[in-house]
Chains A and B, each alone.
Chain A
Amino acid sequence: MAVDNYSSLTVDAIQQGLRSKAFSAVEIAQEAQRFCEAENPTYGAFLSFCAARALNAAEAVDKKLADGEDPGALAGVPIAIKDVILVEGEKNTCASKILENFVAPYTATAVQRIEQAGALVIGKANCDEFAMGSSNENSAYYPVKNPAAPDRVPGGSSGGSAAAVAAGMAPLALGSETGGSIRQPASFCGVVGVLPTYGRVSRYGLSAFASSLDHIGPFSRNVKDSARLLGVMAGKDPRDSTSAGAAVADYVAGLDGNVKGMKLGVPKEYFAAGLDPEVKTRVEEAIAALEKLGCEMVDISLPHTEYAVATYYLICTAEASANLARYDGVRYTMRSKNAETLSEMYRNTRHEGFGKEVTRRIILGTYVLSSGYYEAYYRKAQKVRRLIYQDFKNAFAKVDAIVTPVSPSPAFPLGAKTSDPLEMYLSDIYTITSCLAGNCGISVPCGATSEGLPVGLQILADHFAEDKMFRLADAYENR
């Protein structure tokens, strides 16, 4: 018996295979390791592997199956974990030199729940350093290549997670998103990526970047698998006071294909100048397909969209400068050897350990929080954030969901935007808004450009309305 189609397995196919004894969980773990180690040099999707951990988890699944016990909703499913989410005993580098040798002392709640459901954590996925970037080129180790077009970026910051799923290395992956870091790479690589509502998934064990904007969310090859994975992870965690107690719907049971009469908002600001014409065409075709399924389209406006990128970069850098203050040479493995005094130790460790983009954001964040500028920048941004939030609240009073492109362009060539930080930031324009407003969103593949580059359809829904979002995305996918 063997796993002969590893790279196209879905969660359902694995459950059926295990129950019909077509393969064992241990065989899946072994094939995952073999396949990933063979493919990783090409794509650079993983920074490290957890082969022993995956094998142990697989043995536990096989034992439960043999004993007639329920092995869990994700039994035997390999999953890649972005290297900013802690897995006890495994490395957690945040793709930074400063954490090169850091080994997680505990496991993130999200991962704990996934492992309890029988999933196999196979490795830690590459990303931009401390999740700061939109192309995965800020990894201190190596960039990730887009499996759909290896001369292109996979998007970022969760580029390794997206590429692992796209290249068939794992049916599922966990990423994190602060401004677009799940949905944008999902669209660039042609896979499904989900931003859950702020507070839906515990962040306990997620290395903090910008705490009022950070989320953990799933990647998968189809909508149903992301729905299942989010259902396993979601819900209140006493270890994260920002996690919400709102009931978690059975997302998979809600995928009934019935979207008739649902009202979908089409915001004009997301189809304005700057949008690649081929991306626009693919997204308009997807919207027409949803209309054919019985959805009603409504023209709407999210008038503060053009202020989102500026608002975001003030808030996220301010929060990042505070969160990254902890990396000072005292507790987190790296300490500069060129330091006599405490002050030199702080300064030299941080200079030697942090890459350019991280340093740039710490500088900007420190500046906007500094005396004399706090009101003009940080406070101002917090006020505009409320206007953006209100835009969405007004829209969701009228519509069930909002449909837009995920990113203004398809995947761009490696190196194309590295010299211009502002241009890189602007590639997140359509995703940043939801992170500021806290609502949920999904990127679903909706075809490709003439060059074969994947395009993503974005479906946004109100706070804790993931059930609607998944139902629409699944109906579109199976149209």
Chain B
Amino acid sequence: MKITEKEVRNIAELAHLNLSDEEIVAYQANLEEILSYVDKLNELPTDDIEPMAQVLFEGAEQEGLRDDVLETSIPVDKALSNAPLSGAGQFKVPRVLER
């Protein structure tokens, strides 16, 4: 499996990761090695197999759902307590739109 440097840059962009040129080269090599290894899955015919997203336990279809009752949640000040920057009950981020 051949991965180009450009592909790794594109992936880093999608994942919002700022990588140095050196890191791009290193991850390119890792990715190639790991993807060559996982290619072995192609030995298995799976056309008729239903994909499995997670293992579900036996139970009624609604069993995973709780009753829709009003409950208190984490108070705003607590939810904001780990914010790097907050104000007026909100998380603050750098300006996105110009006025």
Whether the Cβ atoms of B96 and A328 lie closer than 8 Å is: no
Q: Counting CB contacts under 8 A, is A182 at the interface?
A: no
Q: Counting CB contacts under 8 A, is B66 at the interface?
A: yes
Whether the Cβ atoms of B37 and A328 lie closer than 8 Å is: no
Whether the Cβ atoms of A245 and B63 lie closer than 8 Å is: yes
Interface residues in A305-321 by Cβ distance below 8 A to B read 306-307, 309-311, 313-314, 321
Whether the Cβ atoms of A363 and B8 lie closer than 8 Å is: yes
Q: Counting CB contacts under 8 A, is A112 at the interface?
A: no
Provided the pairs A241-B65, A244-B57, A366-B14 are in contact, do residues A310 and B52 lie with their beta carbons within 8 angstroms? no
Whether the Cβ atoms of A359 and B17 lie closer than 8 Å is: yes
Provided the pairs A366-B11, A463-B57 are in contact, do residues A389 and B41 lie with their beta carbons within 8 angstroms? no
Bound CA–CA A426/B87 (angstroms)? 48
**Which A residue's beta carbon lies closest to that of B59?**
A245
**Which B residue's beta carbon lies closest to that of A197?**
B57
Provided the pairs A346-B16, A366-B14, A370-B11 are in contact, do residues A387 and B44 lie with their beta carbons within 8 angstroms? yes
B contacts with A, residue count (CB < 8 A) = 51
Q: Counting CB contacts under 8 A, is A254 at the interface?
A: no
Whether the Cβ atoms of B57 and A360 lie closer than 8 Å is: no
8 Å CB contact of B18 from A211, A350, A385: A350
Bound CA–CA A366/B58 (angstroms)? 32
Could you give, for residues 361-385 of chain A, a 1 whenever the CB lies within 8 Å of some chain B CB and a 0 otherwise? 0111011001000000101111111
Could you give, for residues 32-57 of chain B, a 1 whenever the CB lies within 8 Å of some chain A CB and a 0 otherwise? 01110110111010100111111101
Complex contacts, A386 vs chain B, CB 8 Å: 49-52
Interface residues in B1-39 by Cβ distance below 8 A to A read 7-8, 11-12, 14-19, 23, 27, 30-31, 33-35, 37-38
Q: Counting CB contacts under 8 A, is A289 at the interface?
A: no
Whether the Cβ atoms of A383 and B57 lie closer than 8 Å is: no
Q: Counting CB contacts under 8 A, is A347 at the interface?
A: yes
Bound CA–CA A421/B29 (angstroms)? 11
A contacts with B, residue count (CB < 8 A) = 72
**Which A residue's beta carbon lies closest to that of B50?**
A386
Complex contacts, A360 vs chain B, CB 8 Å: 27, 30
Complex contacts, A103 vs chain B, CB 8 Å: 81-82
Bound CA–CA A340/B50 (angstroms)? 47
**Which A residue's beta carbon lies closest to that of B80?**
A331
8 Å CB contact of B91 from A331, A348, A364, A377: A331
8 Å CB contact of B52 from A102, A364, A385: A385
Complex contacts, A40 vs chain B, CB 8 Å: none
Q: Counting CB contacts under 8 A, is A218 at the interface?
A: no
**Which A residue's beta carbon lies closest to that of B65?**
A241
Whether the Cβ atoms of B34 and A421 lie closer than 8 Å is: yes
Provided the pairs A244-B57, A245-B59 are in contact, do residues A383 and B50 lie with their beta carbons within 8 angstroms? yes
**Which A residue's beta carbon lies closest to that of B10?**
A370
Whether the Cβ atoms of A328 and B16 lie closer than 8 Å is: yes
Complex contacts, A350 vs chain B, CB 8 Å: 15-18
Q: What number of A-B contacts does a CB cutoff of 8 Å give? A: 164
Q: Counting CB contacts under 8 A, is A437 at the interface?
A: yes
Provided the pairs A199-B57, A244-B59, A307-B44 are in contact, do residues A342 and B66 lie with their beta carbons within 8 angstroms? no
Provided the pairs A342-B96, A384-B44, A421-B34 are in contact, do residues A366 and B57 lie with their beta carbons within 8 angstroms? no
Bound CA–CA A313/B34 (angstroms)? 9
Bound CA–CA A4/B18 (angstroms)? 53
Complex contacts, A244 vs chain B, CB 8 Å: 57, 59
Bound CA–CA A347/B50 (angstroms)? 37
Complex contacts, B38 vs chain A, CB 8 Å: 310, 313-314, 377, 381
Provided the pairs A310-B41, A379-B51, A437-B55 are in contact, do residues A105 and B34 lie with their beta carbons within 8 angstroms? no
**Which A residue's beta carbon lies closest to that of B16?**
A346
Known: A359-B17, A438-B55; 8 extra A-B contacts, CB below 8 A, are A106-B78, A307-B40, A345-B94, A346-B16, A348-B18, A363-B31, A383-B51, A421-B30
A-B contact pairs, 25 of them (CB 8 A): A105-B78, A106-B78, A198-B55, A212-B54, A309-B37, A325-B15, A325-B16, A331-B82, A333-B82, A335-B84, A342-B94, A346-B16, A348-B18, A350-B18, A354-B17, A364-B31, A364-B34, A379-B51, A380-B46, A382-B52, A383-B49, A383-B52, A387-B44, A387-B49, A463-B57
Leading 10 A-B pairs by shortest Cβ distance: A438-B55, A382-B51, A212-B54, A335-B84, A347-B18, A238-B66, A383-B46, A310-B38, A241-B64, A386-B52
Task: Give residues in A with beta carbon < 8 Å to B.
Answer: 101-103, 105-106, 197-199, 211-212, 238, 241-242, 244-246, 304, 306-307, 309-311, 313-314, 321, 325, 328-335, 339-348, 350-351, 354, 359-360, 362-364, 366-367, 370, 377, 379-387, 389, 421-422, 437-438, 463-464
